[in-house]
Amino acid sequence: MRRTEARSAPKLVGPGKDSRKSAVASSAGTRRPDRYSTLILDSASEGIWSIGLDGLITYVNKAALRMFGFTDESQMIGKHSHELVHYKRADGSHYPREECPIYRAFLEGIPAHLDDEVLWRSDGTSFYADYRSWPIYEDEKIIGSVVTFTDNTEKRRLQEQRQMAESKLTAAREALAAVIAHDLKTPIQTIEIMVHLCLSADRRVEADKALVDVKELFLIRRSTDQLNRLAGDILDVAKIETNQLTLLRTKVDLLEALSRLVEEIRLTLGEHDIFIQSEGTDFQAPVDLVRFRQIMTNLLVNAAKYSPLNTTIRVFVTQAMNRVNISIRDQGMGIPAELIPKIFDRYYRVKAVKDRKDGLGLGLFISQALVKGHGGEIRVDSEVGIGTTFHVSFPLNEIQPSTLLLRQDSLTAAS
């Protein structure tokens, strides 16, 4: 960004006749700084070079040599400043000398400050610089200019990363708001319609009593359950991201708990046959039963949601290598290989689905966090047109402490 100073340029008054050798530069010839001045200038971290009225470089410090990729001042002094380090713009196009702010410093006495232009190294590469150009005055006359600069590459890279992150965050927030609005709208509309029907005049038997169809009550309950799930998912994600989600674990027979869960939710899984097979004798593992049921419910509902009606969902429970392993296999549409790495991301929903399904796309993200919080593992195998299998494992041995904190960055159990 270009900034020019509104105030009058400072006057750097040159030395008297007896000390002209200590002046920085003049257009008539090169004036070398004395030894102490050179030590000061070479100790600066900023690059510094001066230019005479003819545009030739009259002085350069060590920092400037280093940043420009030169090894000796003779490689710069006496060379044309613009043609050596400022001859092209960032896009590689020619940079006319008359448009150069550095030149304007001594041609018009206008100081300049820019942080969005590039300077060019000796090897032909460029770097973004934050530079200031000031006219040098002697006896009220401009005799050249001095330029100070720093390599702005890293600062600019961090700024671009921050802007990109902010842009992604804004897009994610907008997407989340749109998804929440969409997914809240459906159950709310259902409740509104059912309540309207229940309150209609033809249902009234008395002023304060009405006939209600049990099916309508079930629809209302289903919609409120959906709202509770959405709210719960959002709350869980917030807890995961702030390291506040706890697991209260006890010894649980996972085969028994899973069998009981399937019977409880079988009706919600639609017209699917559910088969549970087991191999082993000890399926007891230290888990948070509520969170275990949440993980399994999510995987079973997903299996039913993305599978054709009247297909089979098979659940395999085995015990090996000090772990209880659970696999849930469906006969659904499958997940394309390139999408599998994304399915555990927040708010991600498989876009290959023809009909948009409800949910915020948080279920697998939360499930992965909960499984890893238990010290377990979760992975997926899938083949398009054949089906998908989710594999989950839980360790048989106790993990201390019994209350775990989940970290969003590593999703591992804290000790």
DSSP result, 161-222: HHHHHHHHHHHHHHHHHHHHHHHHHHHHHHHHHHHHHHTSGGGEEETTEE---HHHHHHHHH
| 95 alpha-carbon distance from chain centroid | 36
Task: Give the C-alpha separation, 385 to 352, whole Å.
Answer: 12
Q: Is 122 helix (H, G, I), strand (E, B) or coil?
A: coil
pLDDT at res. 238? 75
For 14-18, 70-74, 112-116, which range has the lowest pLDDT when averaged over its residues? 14-18
Cβ-contact 388, 407 below 8 angstroms: no
Most confident option among 43-52, 98-107, 240-249, 267-276: 43-52
Higher pLDDT, 67 or 366: 67
The pLDDT > 70 percentage for the chain reads: 82
pLDDT at res. 26? 41
Q: Is the pLDDT of residue 226 over 80?
A: no
Q: Burial level of 388, CB count in 10 A (0-12/13-18/19+)?
A: buried
pLDDT at res. 50? 93
Cβ-contact 24, 48 below 8 angstroms: no
Q: Burial level of 143, CB count in 10 A (0-12/13-18/19+)?
A: buried
pLDDT at res. 358? 53
pLDDT at res. 270? 81
Residue the block writes with tokens 């047109």: 385
Higher pLDDT, 118 or 397: 118
What sign has the CA pseudo-torsion 162, 168, 172, 174? positive
pLDDT at res. 17? 35
Cβ-contact 324, 293 below 8 angstroms: no
Q: How many CB atoms lie within 10 A of CB 118?
A: 20
Please state which CATH class domain 2-151 belongs to.
Answer: alpha beta
Using 50, 70 and 90 to split pLDDT, how confident is the model at 76? very high
Higher pLDDT, 122 or 193: 122
pLDDT at res. 14? 36
pLDDT at res. 299? 93
- Show the beta-strand stretches assigned E in 93-187: 112-120, 126-138, 141-151
Two tokens, residue 103: 């030149």
pLDDT at res. 118? 93
Residues 345-396 pLDDT 10s: 876 766 544 444 455 577 888 899 899 989 999 999 999 989 999 999 999 8
Please state which CATH class domain 246-405 belongs to.
Answer: alpha beta
pLDDT at res. 31? 59
The three-point CA angle 57-61-63 to 5° equals 125
pLDDT at res. 1? 54
Task: Give the C-alpha separation, 256 to 274, whole Å.
Answer: 15
- Written as one letter, the residue type at 53 is L
Task: Give the C-alpha separation, 352 to 326, whole Å.
Answer: 26
Buried b (16+ CB within 10 A) or exposed e, 343-360: bbebeebbeeeeeeeebb
Q: Is 355 helix (H, G, I), strand (E, B) or coil?
A: coil
Kindly report the length of the chain: 415
Quick one: average pLDDT of 27-32? 50
The three-point CA angle 149-153-155 to 5° equals 95
Relative orientation angle of helices 363-373 and 289-305, to the nearest 10 degrees: 140
pLDDT at res. 300? 93
Report DSSP state, residue 333. -
Quick one: average pLDDT of 280-286? 89
Quick one: average pLDDT of 130-153? 91
Q: Of 119, 132, 147, nearest to 25 (Cα)?
A: 147
Cβ-contact 391, 325 below 8 angstroms: yes
* Average pLDDT of the chain to the nearest whole number: 81
pLDDT at res. 403? 42
Most confident option among 38-42, 83-87, 239-243: 83-87
pLDDT at res. 324? 94
Cβ-contact 132, 105 below 8 angstroms: no
The half-sphere exposure of 273 on its side-chain side, counting CA atoms within 13 A, is 5
The pLDDT > 90 percentage for the chain reads: 38
* Domains of the chain, residue spans: 2-151, 160-235, 246-405
Using 50, 70 and 90 to split pLDDT, how confident is the model at 409? very low
Contacts of 44 (CB under 8 A, 6+ apart): 61, 63
pLDDT at res. 214? 83
Higher pLDDT, 169 or 116: 116
Q: Is the pLDDT of residue 41 over 80?
A: yes
CA distances from 60 to 69, 88, 351, 357 (A): 12, 21, 59, 66
pLDDT at res. 69? 95
Residues 321-352 pLDDT 10s: 889 999 999 998 898 888 888 888 876 766 54
